[in-house]
Amino acid sequence: MSHKNSPEFKESSEPENSSEEITRQRSSRKDHGRAKVILSFLGSMELAISLFVVIGIASIIGTILQQNQAYNTYIVQFGPFWFEVFRSLELFDIYSSWWFVILLGFLLISTSACIYRYAPLMIREWRRFHLNVSTKSLKLMHASGVWNTQSSRDDSIQFIQEKLANGGYQSRLKDEQGVITIAAKKGSANRLGYIFTHGAIIVICLSALYDGNFNLKLRETAGQLKPETRDLFASQVPDISRLKHDENHAFRGSANVPEGSTTGLVFLQMRNGFLVQELPFTITLNDFRIEHYESGMPKSFESDIILEDKETGEKINKTIAVNHPLFYKDFAIYQASFDDGGTIMDMQAWSLENADQTVMPFKQVVGQSRIIPTAQGDMKLELVEFTASNVQPNPKAKETGRKFKNMGATLTFRLRDTSGQAREFINYANPVEQEGRYFYLSGVRNATTEPFRYLFIPADDNISIKRFFDFRALLNNKEEMKRISEKTAALSLQSSNAPDSKIVAQMGLVMQRLVEQFVLGGFDLVINDINKQVPEEKREEVMDSYFKVLQTILGTVYLEVLQKEGIDISADITPAQEQYYDDVVNTMGILANYNAPFYLQIKSFDHKEASGFQITKSPGKDLVYLGCTLLCIGIVLMFYVAHKRIWVIIEPQDKVEGSPLHIIVAGSGDRHQKEFEQEFQALSQLLDKHFGKHDHYSMSKE
């Protein structure tokens, strides 16, 4: 070795370069070590299982908790405290939340790291036959056997390879100094199951990230997009809350289309607001049909639509039903729901404020509102929902043989005052039978969390509410009530020989005052007044007297109402008319609690329905299908395909050519051990027939 190439020469002439090289090598080893640690962490089973558990829990929550609803819905359901907790965790839009997207990203990276680390090993293992085995290692296997035979080497090799091939095994042969090693395997595709399953997870995560609307949140954060929170028509929504059809590559929205109407928009729910998404086509609803079970629950519903492409003008006629959507390009149109499509209501409002019987007829479309002047100020009448049928359990099921009965159409509406406070009502169009009598029902509640409290307005002989309002109008007519009160007082004092006119007048005033209190606040106001004015020890006596007087004057007023209807009150009053009096007095006694300026009566309606469509654009769905296919293949390969190996060593007994052969056969399987043992036993029996009984044989007894 020359002097200049010796280590001593290098060390003395280039010390700085050598030190730098060593430093670089050490730094490279450190970087490589860090990368290996990071890669090992990302590809660890612990991280993958943790991510799967958290994502699984989040998916369960997202399945149970309905996503992307209006915030008011969640406040009503959970209350203000838990609403704020859930909102801060973004549980109302889990699949687009930042933490869920980060989890998916980590799962994607973790799974990719696993494939990067182990896929080459799996592929190598899939391709290798492991020809380098020893006699000692084969004898230690749980399935092994030894044969001694006089057969020739070539004949033995041919026979063994043939039987292995018949059993579905692929084999390779190695000849080393006269010792023949045969390695056979089948089910190697089991190793590919790992790659397929992990690849499926990657593909599904990519599709989830691609089809998510996280990009909308980024645009919203950047100020390029703002959800609309006001109750506006689609045409009134500003541009900052609108999306062109090519601005959003994936979405899930809804559209309500009334019969005979056309739309080219969908609404995307965004927490406490919405976005308007334009479509590259229009949908026209020609007809909507629905069938119900006897219980009133929807049995099936479907829509006849025309889809027209805005660019090409292509038209598609299609009937969409539940579980039978229409697929067009990257879009899917599902039959999701149904609603009122703008039913025209013909109604009349019977005033509960004016003394006289005031009736205001008008027409209004469901879903719209109008301002109605009242004594309490202008109030907004909002028609919320119309239902053409209301099926309830039939209390007379045993008598009629029908478990349910249809109580007719109902209208839900709200009365909103100038401060924005609203009370919700539900009115029945048809009278409802109760114990053989008919009543017009009107439910009222102050909040949607409360149950409805019902007002029962009795129907008269003509099944109308006119007599009720005639009775009320007469009670509010001061001049008529003065006349009726004085007449009733005089009749009550007829037993006296010469009733004093002053006493008659005083008694008439008492009757008038009682009627005024009764009309103003019902029985409760009369009782409260007695409690304030009368000492406790005399209240029961005074209350009994007052109610007798009140019953007398109310009975007289009722007879006046019947007389004005042309009914001969000198004849006997029918039991139904007597019962009506009790019902009308009971209703008047609680009318003050109804707290509404009018009673809204439904005269008739022109029913129109709307179909609710869910429209999705998910270009990543093909990736989902691919991922699911890979996952199924991977699961089948991993759990149902067993990897089995058999090795054979053929060597001369005396290490001399032409001497008897010593054959060792052994094998193993990674699962389904009993199945492999049966295969090995069958192979051993074939070898016994050809080579003679084996000398040594071992098998697991499990």
Number of CB atoms found within 10 A of residue 441's CB: 19
Q: Is the pLDDT of residue 505 over 70?
A: yes
**Rama region for 260: left / alpha / beta (φ>0; ψ in -120 to 50; rest):** left
Pair (475, 586) in one structural domain: yes
Residue 527 lies in a domain: yes
Show which of 553, 582, 617 is a domain's final residue: 617
Mean pLDDT of 413-420: 92
DSSP alpha helix (H) spans, 212-261: 214-221
Pair (304, 385) in one structural domain: no
Pair (565, 613) in one structural domain: no
* DSSP sequence for 639-667: HH---EEEEEEEEETTSSTTSPEEEEEEE
354-383 pLDDT tens trace = 888 889 999 999 999 999 999 888 999 999
Mean pLDDT of 467-485: 91
- The C-alpha atoms of residue 113 and residue 23 are separated, in whole angstroms, by 29
Which of 598, 599, 600, 597 is closest to 346 using CA atoms?
600
CATH number of 156's domain:
3.30.160.110
**What is the domain extent for residue 515?**
469-602
Give the chain's domain count.
4
Judge contact between 441 and 428, C-beta under 8 A: yes
3-state SS of 357-413? CCEEEEEEECCCEEEEEECCEEEEEEEEEEECCCEEECCCHHHHCCCEEECCCEEEE
Pair (261, 154) in one structural domain: no
Pair (232, 163) in one structural domain: no
Pair (258, 383) in one structural domain: no
Which of 594, 602, 419 is closest to 521 using CA atoms?
594
Residue 75 lies in a domain: no
Residue 203 lies in a domain: no
Pair (451, 333) in one structural domain: no
Show which of 436, 457, 478 is a domain's final residue: 457
Pair (439, 480) in one structural domain: no
Residue 637 lies in a domain: no
Pair (580, 473) in one structural domain: yes
Number of CB atoms found within 10 A of residue 37's CB: 10
Pair (523, 567) in one structural domain: yes
For the whole model, what pTM was predicted?
Answer: 0.67
Residue 374 lies in a domain: yes
Residue 368 lies in a domain: yes
Residue 289 lies in a domain: yes
647-688 pLDDT tens trace = 999 988 876 666 788 899 999 888 778 888 888 989 988 988
Pair (481, 591) in one structural domain: yes
Pair (337, 434) in one structural domain: no
- The C-alpha atoms of residue 569 and residue 557 are separated, in whole angstroms, by 12
265-278 pLDDT tens trace = 999 988 778 899 99
H or E element at residue 45: helix 45-64
DSSP code of residue 194: H
Residue 683 lies in a domain: yes
Show which of 457, 487, 522 is a domain's final residue: 457
223-253 pLDDT tens trace = 888 988 888 888 889 999 999 988 888 888 9
